[in-house]
Amino acid sequence: MFTSYYVSRCHQPPHSGSSASGSIKPCQNLYPNSRRTNMERKSEDNKNRKPKEDEAEHEHELPLMSLNHVSRLCTSVKDSVEFYTKALGFALIERPQAFDFDGAWLFNYGIGIHLVQANDEDKLPNNHELDPMDNHISFQCEDMGAMEQKLKDLGIKYMKRTVGGEEDGVIDQLFFNDPDGFMIEICNCENVKLKPVGSFNRIKLPFDRHNPPVELDANAAKAS
């Protein structure tokens, strides 16, 4: 249902009844030759670049790869796990055993959601009104109608709107809150082309190595 277009297309979340070990399917690299193509293009660009431009480019380079996870405080880890697995298709992941506080790790679509039991509820949102201009995280979606029906089936209150136009592209959006009032957006933002302001070479597209290693047992590996 969701697609991380900037990285790869992941297999759909398993149907209910699937074993926990098979909840995560390895992502398929949609661009097997993209790294080689990028390197060739960058080499060509370097031939035409002036020394000062090289120095400025190198100065801004950082060894970052991709978004790893988003952390969320919650009043009930159990309720939040149920929400993110049922409404958004995330899979429950084992946490490091050294952690001595209550929480949960979830993963899918190449990113993680880390839930932490709140000791101070004053740190949680106190306004559960849906405002697209407020803080939120957004998920790319390839079937907005199916996602809207999912929210209806789960009885989740949501806001629906369309922004943009023919010149820049039209984006459909769904906004709703998790159990603690953190806002989530579902969109088809691939309809709008990204236009870098400045050097394109500063943008790194994580075509590979973007996913943490996923350990599957023998049965899950065969199913994948």
Active-site annotation holds for 185: yes
Hey, which bits of 63-182 come out as E strands?
A: 69-74, 91-93, 103-108, 111-117, 136-140, 158-165, 169-177
User: Cβ of 2: how many Cβ atoms within 10 Å?
Assistant: 20
- Tell me the Cα Rg of the chain: 20
Q: Which of 129, 125, 73 is nearest to 101 (CA)?
A: 73
Q: How many residues does the chain have?
A: 224
Catalytic residue among 53, 57, 185, 215: 185
Catalytic residues: 185
